Structure 1
Amino acid sequence: MRILALTNLFPTAWDPLRASFNRQQFDRLAEFHELDVMVAVDFRDRLRGPRGEAPALRHARASDFTFWYPPRIGRGLHGLAWYASLVSQRRSMLRDGRYDLLLASWAYPDAVGTARLARRLGLPYVVKVHGSDLNVQADQPSHRPQIAAALRGARAVVAVSDALAGKARALGVEPGRVHLLYNGVDGERFRPGDRTAARQALALSPDAPLVLYVGNLKQSKGCLDLLEAFPAVLARQPDACLAFVGAGAAAATLSRRAQQLGIADRVMLAGARPHEQLALWMQAANLLSLPSHNEGVPNVVLEAMACGLPVVATAVGGIPEVLPGQAGILVPAHDRAALGQALGEALGRDWSREAILEHAAGFRWDDNVRRLDRILVDAARPTNA
């Protein structure tokens, strides 16, 4: 088939580290089908200029368009603005592409705009939902009816967690058209490694217990909760360290607050790192912590387990579905006291790496893409077939 994937969740020169999970999945899917990826680039990012180079693709083809929209006000019009931006800039590609299927990855405005495009082109479409597109945006009165209509009009809705699948059904999607499909992990890259060698490569202390956070530095990801909980860890293990790998608006706040707490010498802000370097950080760490306030199923949790690393995370979204007791500890969101206690407990526990790896083996990109292929092929069949 010829498939056009439409999404903001994909690496570009304006955000080279964005959504590596979609890059991995779509590039593998392109081994089965001709796949073009059309990426929406926020006009503010476009005006700021490129920040690097997008990772190379082996099979898929990627291009982009500028998403122009009214900021602050008119958010209920973003689906229409997304569609108008795409059509005005990529009219010939859409007309001449001879696509069999559209695949939208993110509910708003991407899926809403894709639904309009599908009607214009007379094509079936599939929507993939990820987390806050349903957990947050679908609760906004101006967005909810549009998201619900876009999902109901799709031939299939692919949810990365069972919790999200339930939200899609609650929006009126027929249960038979909702598919649960957990993301996968690149097992060649994310695997156990020698901790001493990894720490030498990263110039880290060879012996200090290391708690690792990987992700965007923003409040909804719980990075500030993690910092506030860390003094409780230091009370039990004074030589412990906390490393934040990522970038975002909360970076300055984290640095300032670490100084105020008197723990700046135990906290490292390592900045954003390419996806291929994350495995080395996980191999160097004692545990990963992701205390998000809402989630789908974050790939960083799956990748950490594939490295044999235990995880302390919040019981939100699909995280409880993929993080069993033998692989980590769950705590309530926003509960910094519980988080600090869990971190201390996790650092002191003798985890079975073999048990963690056995569980993590269930999340593989090969299996994921084969299932996605079947969903898309079924969705593209004529309805009277």
Structure 2
Amino acid sequence: MTLNVLTLSTLFPDMSRPNFGVFVERQARELASRPQADVTVIAPVGIPIWPFSLAPGYAALRALPRKERWREVTVYRPVFRTIPKIGGRTNVGAMTRAILPLVRRLHAQRPFDVIDASFFFPDGPVARRLSKALGIPYSVKARGADIHHWGTQPATRKLVRQAADDAAGLLAVSDAMRRSMARMGIDADKIRVHYTGVDLDTFELTDRQAAKAALDFNGPVVLSVGALIPRKGQDLLVRALPHLPDVTLLLAGQGQYRRTLETLAQELGVERRIGFLGSVPHHKLPRIFAAADVMALVSESEGLANAWVESLACGTPIVISDVGGARELLDRAEAGRIVERDPEAIAAAIRAILDNPPAQAAVRESALRFTWQANGDALLAHLHSIAASDDS
């Protein structure tokens, strides 16, 4: 039986945001590559109500095609209206109203068997409403902040819980995430651990000194990959720098938190040893991972960060906080260190790796479990089981 899947995701790349949800796109492409599955992606685009929508920053989103073929997958991009500052709790209704006519039309042409929602909010509650309207089952995947934040906020936690309760099945990016969901009262028996994947042909081993020379890097380099937001903990890495006088810190990511980090670096006198790389295209990340001696990401919360796995695949050890699936990933000493979110502890862990660097091949071994083939196999089996149980 060929499964007709509706993938719903508010985080999906487009021409204006090529890095936006690349892991969701890669998962959808893997599923779509299987002869047992047909995949249609609906990636709603949130644009503020007028006159906020006229701001220059939204011009590229307004210009996106409403339907396109994006890397072998058909993607629809219906627009829904958001309300600045308070939009979170209104997005579910606005998004449902914007996409339901489209979904009904597509379903009438060729019925969907199952809805695959990529995040718990707002995707999960919207999938619940689509499921009721169409009479088909749905699944929701928990990745991190979608549960840790939206699942605990007074205005949205009820919607998150309803989406979990009514789903035919649930996915979690790590067993730690599964346990977090269970502690919230979500039925653990419905949750399947679904690890991310990494392209092992792209994120590969490269001679580190050659990689450094190619990018004109000198001395020990610590890389951090992630949006520049307080939750990611880049400020702790900046505070660790005075304890690492020979180290250069490179921050790959963008966000308004950059100004705070720049100010902090100046106050600590380390601004000359920090490089802000901005949003690095995903296909260019491997060479930067390869040139770094350590990848550090000491987040306040995570599910199982793709940057962790990609760094390991390049043979670069990681220093990370004890969050999400950290202990599931770091299955050997060579892979890196789990540390307290304290600048001195972070600096000590980085120094230990720099003083005794592990073999790159041994580091890469930790990532070999995380293939897109395994990810696609598990997702297909999960969605098939949901569709089959609905038919029975």
Same fold (TM over 0.5): yes
Matched residues in 1 for 2:353 and 2:8: separation? 40
Give, in angstroms, the shift of residue 350 of structure 1: 3.0
Q: Give per-residue Cα distances to partners, 1:183-234, cap 9 Å, x unaligned.
A: 01100001110223322332322xx000001111111111111111111111
Q: Give per-residue Cα distances to partners, 1:3-38, cap 9 Å, x unaligned.
A: 111111211234221121111111011012111111
Give, in angstroms, the shift of residue 57 of structure 1: 4.1
Amino acid in structure 1 at the alignment position of 2:311: A
- Equivalenced residue count is 378
Question: Cα distance 1:246–1:286, how it changes in 2: closer, same or farther (>3 A)?
Answer: same
Matched residues in 2 for 1:310 and 1:225: separation? 18
Matched residues in 2 for 1:56 and 1:276: separation? 20
Matched residues in 2 for 1:91 and 1:43: separation? 23
* Partner of residue 10, structure 2: 8
Question: Cα distance 1:359–1:376, how it changes in 2: closer, same or farther (>3 A)?
Answer: same
Amino acid in structure 2 at the alignment position of 1:50: A
The partner residue of 1:71 within 53, 78, 84 is: 84
Cα contact 1:41–1:64 (8 A) shared by 2: yes
Query: After the TM superposition, which residues 30-179 of structure 1 pair with which residues of structure 2 at under 5 Å, given as runs?
Result: 30-32=32-34, 33-44=37-48, 48-50=58-60, 57-73=70-86, 75-87=88-100, 92-93=105-106, 95-179=108-192
* Partner of residue 29, structure 1: 31
Question: Cα distance 1:354–1:136, how it changes in 2: closer, same or farther (>3 A)?
Answer: same
Query: After the TM superposition, which residues 206-245 of structure 1 pair with which residues of structure 2 at under 5 Å, given as runs?
Result: 208-234=219-245, 238=246, 240-245=247-252
Deviates more, 1:218-227 or 1:59-68: 59-68
Question: Cα distance 1:273–1:129, how it changes in 2: closer, same or farther (>3 A)?
Answer: same
* Partner of residue 276, structure 2: 269
Q: Give per-residue Cα distances to partners, 1:129-175, cap 9 Å, x unaligned.
A: 10011112111122222111111211110100112112333344433
Matched residues in 2 for 1:173 and 1:252: separation? 39
Matched residues in 2 for 1:73 and 1:358: separation? 45
SS at match of 2:334: coil
Normalised to the residue count of structure 2, the TM-score between the two structures is 0.90
Matched residues in 1 for 2:23 and 2:104: separation? 28
Cα contact 2:205–2:361 (8 A) shared by 1: no
The partner residue of 2:340 within 307, 332, 355 is: 332
* Partner of residue 196, structure 1: 209
Q: Percent identity?
A: 31
SS at match of 1:107: coil
Question: Cα distance 1:255–1:306, how it changes in 2: closer, same or farther (>3 A)?
Answer: same
* Partner of residue 249, structure 1: 256
SS at match of 1:212: strand
Normalised to the residue count of structure 1, the TM-score between the two structures is 0.91
Matched residues in 2 for 1:53 and 1:327: separation? 41
Indicate yes or no: 2:323 matched with 1:313.
no
Cα contact 1:152–1:172 (8 A) shared by 2: no
Q: Give per-residue Cα distances to partners, 1:87-122, cap 9 Å, x unaligned.
A: 256653454352111110111111001100110011
Question: Cα distance 1:212–1:176, how it changes in 2: closer, same or farther (>3 A)?
Answer: same
Question: Please, what is the CA RMSD of the aligned residues?
Answer: 2.3
Question: Cα distance 1:193–1:56, how it changes in 2: closer, same or farther (>3 A)?
Answer: farther
Matched residues in 2 for 1:317 and 1:6: separation? 24
Cα contact 1:101–1:124 (8 A) shared by 2: yes
SS at match of 2:197: coil
Matched residues in 1 for 2:11 and 2:87: separation? 22
SS at match of 2:82: coil
Give, in angstroms, the shift of residue 182 of structure 1: 1.0
Cα contact 1:14–1:41 (8 A) shared by 2: no
Matched residues in 1 for 2:188 and 2:132: separation? 23
Question: Cα distance 1:30–1:89, how it changes in 2: closer, same or farther (>3 A)?
Answer: closer
SS at match of 2:267: helix
Question: Cα distance 1:282–1:56, how it changes in 2: closer, same or farther (>3 A)?
Answer: farther
Matched residues in 1 for 2:201 and 2:289: separation? 14
Cα contact 2:5–2:39 (8 A) shared by 1: yes
Question: Cα distance 1:366–1:74, how it changes in 2: closer, same or farther (>3 A)?
Answer: closer
Q: Give per-residue Cα distances to partners, 1:285-333, cap 9 Å, x unaligned.
A: 1010001111000011001111111100111122222123331111123
Indicate yes or no: 2:368 matched with 1:378.
no
